Amino acid sequence: MPRQPLFAGLVVDEQDRPVDVAYVGDEPCYVVDDDGFRRHIPSEQVDRQVLEQMRAQIEGHEDLLSEQTAKMLGQEDIFTKAVIEQQLKNIGQQFEALLEIGIPEEGRAYLGMMGFKVVINVHGDVVRLEQPGIITDEGDE
């Protein structure tokens, strides 16, 4: 069980209002205001949906992502690219570890500054994931 909500401070409701964080016992929850009723949604339920959407975006693009990551690191050799690509193919294991250790406050602040936002409904379903700069396959542009 995660010790803290993974995306604390980055989750909003459908009216674009920030979602609070609270604990029910030792379980971290996102708290959504449902016309005055504060719904406590286990954070793991929301966090796993977000990670699954991210995994789906990565899947099938591991080669391109590893190539560009190696280039950004200045390590464009085939071994570095292979290691990065293998890590991307095992992203599920990486996400499990991330759920356990969390994202540091500085990392969440950076994501927020970049415009990353998770929109959920009152039931804890992820309505959309806002990631400025992400190009989708929908053919819009």
**d(Cα 8, Cα 4) in Å, to the nearest integer?**
8
Distances (CA, A) of 87 to 54, 82, 103: 14, 9, 18
pLDDT at 11: 98
Single-letter residue type at 113 = M
Q: Which residue has the higher pLDDT, 89 or 112?
A: 112
User: Edge-to-edge strands of the sheet including 126-130?
Assistant: 11-12, 117-120, 126-130
Domain range annotation of the chain? 11-130
**d(Cα 114, Cα 28) in Å, to the nearest integer?**
25
Q: What is the pLDDT of residues 25-74, one digit of tens each?
A: 999 999 999 999 999 999 999 999 999 999 998 888 888 888 888 888 88
Please, what is the angle between helix 91-101 and helix 43-58, to 10°?
Answer: 150
pTM of the model: 0.81
Question: Taking 90 as the threshold, does the pLDDT of residue 92 lie above it?
Answer: no
**d(Cα 17, Cα 37) in Å, to the nearest integer?**
14
Are 121 and 39 a contacting pair, CB within 8 Å? no
Are 49 and 27 a contacting pair, CB within 8 Å? no
